[in-house]
Structure 1
Amino acid sequence: MQRRHFNLAALAALALPALAHAQPSRPRIEVYKDANCGCCSQWVAHLQAFGFDVASSDVDDTGVYRRRFGMPERLASCHSAQVAGYAIEGHVPAVDIRRLLKDKPRAIGLAVAGMPAGSPGMEDPRNPKARAAYDVLLVGKDGATSVYHRYPAVAG
């Protein structure tokens, strides 16, 4: 009986590091937003629901942070963020940010220009499944963009 107990304990000790590694991490993301913008707060809630540790700051001018992070002005939206050295501009879905952190491309970050209807934080409570088509753009170090993820329109 003691031998079996030891074997189970040994197996558990070997499995613990693997289990710890399998646990989802909580990446810290710093969000800079307008205090009066409801969609920004909803995007923050979206990130939290997907396991991000969000530090949200209300600021007078998000452009200051966009420029600091190197995000081109032409991709401006209503909030700017930074996670693991990457800039995140606008209503980028959490799944795309997670993919960015996993893939680790040489890039400035991700952007969803404007405020597309149905993107995270821009949902219509009367028709929450509806979505306008939009692209999440990968912004290269040179400012050039490529489509990272295309979201088709959904009628809802």
Structure 2
Amino acid sequence: MLNHKNKIIASTLAATVAMFTPSFATPDPKNMPEMTLYKDPNCGCCTAHADYLKENGFKVTMIDHPNIVEIKQQYGTLRGASCHTIVMDGYVIEGHVPVASIKKLWAEQPDIKGIALPGMPYNSPGMGPEKKGSLKIMQINNDTSITQVFNIE
């Protein structure tokens, strides 16, 4: 059991550690770079994902591209392919990635190419009702390999 003196020391130590521990505050999308979303001209779910991002405060420009595979090859997302590719200030975001993962990517700014939600899961933003904890957001490494989970949404 801690006595009064030890409680003060423990409290001071905790405050000191907190001061020097980096914190990754959730960034405000309004202060984040604009996104460019490349999509097939006829894809409605890509537009729905862009609308979801805009509703959450992101600045999104959509570009219809006649050969979306070419975009995925250019940005290195083909191994984790979904229906659209987003470019945001040097990072790529492939597919229907939830905003929490995009904010995490921007807050932490890891040395990776980007993140991906491969395929088109029904319960992802823009594809149907989102089911928390069911989506595996994958990390796209700089060599374009996908070897680990970035986080689970």
Q: Quickly say closer, same or farther: Cα 1:109–1:117, change in 2 above 3 A.
A: same
Identity across aligned pairs (percent)? 35
Partners of 1:86 and 1:141 in 2: how far apart?
Answer: 10
Mapped contact 1:81–1:87 kept (Cα < 8 A): yes
Q: Which residue of 2 aligns with 1:138?
A: 139
Counterpart residue identity of residue 116, structure 2: A
State the TM-score, normalizing by the size of structure 2. 0.74
Q: Quickly say closer, same or farther: Cα 1:119–1:146, change in 2 above 3 A.
A: same
Summarize the alignment of residues 5-154 of structure 1 with structure 2, pairs less than 5 Å apart: 24-71=30-77, 73-123=78-128, 128=129, 133-142=134-143, 143-151=145-153
Give the aligned CA root-mean-square deviation in angstroms.
Answer: 2.0
**When you count strand as a share of all residues, which structure comes out higher?**
1
Mapped contact 2:37–2:84 kept (Cα < 8 A): yes
Q: Which runs of 5+ in 2 are unaligned?
A: 1-26
Displacement of 1:46 in angstroms is 0.9
Q: Quickly say closer, same or farther: Cα 1:138–1:129, change in 2 above 3 A.
A: closer
Displacement of 1:130 in angstroms is 5.1
State the TM-score, normalizing by the size of structure 1. 0.73
Q: Quickly say closer, same or farther: Cα 1:130–1:79, change in 2 above 3 A.
A: same
Q: Quickly say closer, same or farther: Cα 1:129–1:94, change in 2 above 3 A.
A: closer
Mapped contact 1:75–1:112 kept (Cα < 8 A): yes
Partners of 1:132 and 1:117 in 2: how far apart?
Answer: 14
